[in-house]
Amino acid sequence: MANKITYQSTYDDVGWSLRDTLDEIEQHGETIQLKFDMLYKYGRLHLLSDEPDKAYQIFQHCSIHAIENGISDADLNELYYWTTRCVEEQGNKERALELFLMLLEKVDLSENNDEFVNAVLDRLTLFGNITALVEEYKQKREEEMNNPQDLLGQAIKVLREMKK
């Protein structure tokens, strides 16, 4: 992303960064990455303005754009983090916890993801003692892996068993 903003960036920081992105689009034209950056920052502004529903809608649009156009995993991780923050702000704490745990589960620790991991862990600490919830999440994931309900999941299970 152009004009990198952090997880702790303020409304003004994100606003100025969005302004820089819009200027870049005006000067050089809209690219796939610049459109992603614009939507991402616009969503962040709405979340910082206590408009999680609007931010969530923008992040969903940004996600579709990212998936269709091969945006990097690092950018997607940030997008999913902020989408999960929207879920949390909307009051669905249990779902947000589940999504934060899923984000940690899929992160590649061999890459430089310290800032991302720390941001997720910071949010998880706000949930208090989550040991029981983490164990419940692990059990649920294991059940999903061992007894998938969908056809794709069942096919993956068969392939895994064939590899053994």
Q: Are 38 and 70 in contact (CB under 8 A)?
A: no
Rounded to 10 deg, the angle between the 93-106 and 73-89 helix axes is 160
pLDDT confidence band for 1 (50 / 70 / 90): very low
Q: Which pLDDT value is given to residue 158?
A: 65
Kindly give, in sequence order, each residue whose CB lies less than 8 Å from that of residue 21, ignoring residues fewer than 6 positions away.
2, 3, 34, 37, 38, 41
Least confident segment among 27-36, 110-119, 145-154: 145-154
What is the rounded distance in angstroms from the CA atom of residue 38 to the CA atom of residue 36? 5
Does the pLDDT at position 129 exceed 80?
Answer: no
Please say whether the dihedral angle defined by the alpha carbons of residues 9, 15, 19 and 22, taken in this order, is positive or negative.
positive
Higher-pLDDT residue of 56, 138: 56
Q: What is the pLDDT of residues 66-83, one digit of tens each?
A: 999 998 888 998 999 999
What is the rounded distance in angstroms from the CA atom of residue 33 to the CA atom of residue 36? 5
**Which CATH number is 11-128's, of 3.30.70.3000, 1.10.3720.10, 1.25.40.10, 1.20.1290.10?**
1.25.40.10
Q: Are 73 and 108 in contact (CB under 8 A)?
A: yes
Residue type, 49: S
Q: What is the pLDDT of residues 12-21, one digit of tens each?
A: 999 999 999 9
Numbered ranges of CATH 1.25.40.10 in the chain: 11-128
Mean pLDDT within 143-153: 67
What is the rounded distance in angstroms from the CA atom of residue 69 to the CA atom of residue 77? 15
Q: Are 36 and 66 in contact (CB under 8 A)?
A: yes
Helix (H) or strand (E) holding 159: helix 151-163
Does the pLDDT at position 143 exceed 60?
Answer: yes
Q: Which pLDDT value is given to residue 2?
A: 47
